[in-house]
Chains A and B, each alone.
Chain A
Amino acid sequence: DQQVKQNSPSLSVQEGRISILNCDYTNSMFDYFLWYKKYPAEGPTFLISISSIKDKNEDGRFTVFLNKSAKHLSLHIVPSQPGDSAVYFCAASASGGYNKLIFGAGTRLAVHP
C-alpha cells in the first residue's frame, strides 16, 4: 500500500530552466507535506514543507504547491542549478507533522549545463 507516490524515477533539466517534481498521495488524513533532498552517501536533508491549510509555500528558488482536491503536490525549482542534482523525496504525515513521515520512492534530478 503505497500512500505516497512519485511516479517519475528520474528527471533531466537544463541549467537555468525550471525543474518540476511531482508527488501524489492517497491518504486523506495527511495534513503536512515535506520535500527532502538526498546526495549520495549522505542522509536526506529537509528542503521545504507545506501544511494542508496552505496551497503554496516558497523559499528562495524552491516552491511547493499543494492541490488537496487532487491529492497532489509539486516542487518547483527555479532556476535549476547543477548543485541541485540529487534524489528528491516527497514525504507526508498526519496530525500536524508529529506522526511518522511516509516517503515516496524518490525522483532523481539531473541538472546539466
Chain B
Amino acid sequence: DSGVTQTPKHLITATGQRVTLRCSPRSGDLSVYWYQQSLDQGLQFLIHYYNGEERAKGNILERFSAQQFPDLHSELNLSSLELGDSALYFCASRGSGANTGELFFGEGSRLTVL
C-alpha cells in the first residue's frame, strides 16, 4: 500500500461526457503528479501540482484540467471524452525530503470510453 488513494478504480462512460478522477496523496506529501498510461505504453506525464500550485505541464490536452485543493487532494477533469482517452490514469505523490526523487503511485483509475 503506497498510501496514495485514487477513486474511482474503474469508470465506463460515453464519448462526449465529462469525468472527474480523484487523488489523495500520502499524508504530508505536497506534490501530486498525474500520469496517463494508454494500452501497452509507458506512463505519460500530464501535470504536476505542489501545495496547490501548478508546477509543470506535460502532454495534457486542453480538454483536460486539474487542480489541487487546500487539503492537498487533487482532481483530474476530463471533458468531451473521446475513444482515445481510454487509459489508466495514475496519480503519484512525492515526499518533501531532500534525499528522494521517488514517486509513490496509486493503483490507478481505469477509464473506458465507449
Contact = CB atoms under 8 A, between A and B. Distances in A.
Interface of A: 4, 6, 9, 32, 34, 36, 41-46, 49, 89, 93, 96-106
A46 B46 CA distance: 19
B42 A43 contact: no
Contacts, number: 57
A100 B102 contact: no
B105 A100 contact: no
Which 10 pairs across A and B sit closest by C-beta, in order of nearness?
A: A97-B101, A43-B105, A105-B42, A103-B43, A103-B42, A46-B102, A43-B107, A44-B105, A100-B45, A32-B101
Interface of B: 2, 4, 33, 35, 40-45, 48, 56, 58, 90, 92, 94, 100-108
B43 A97 contact: no
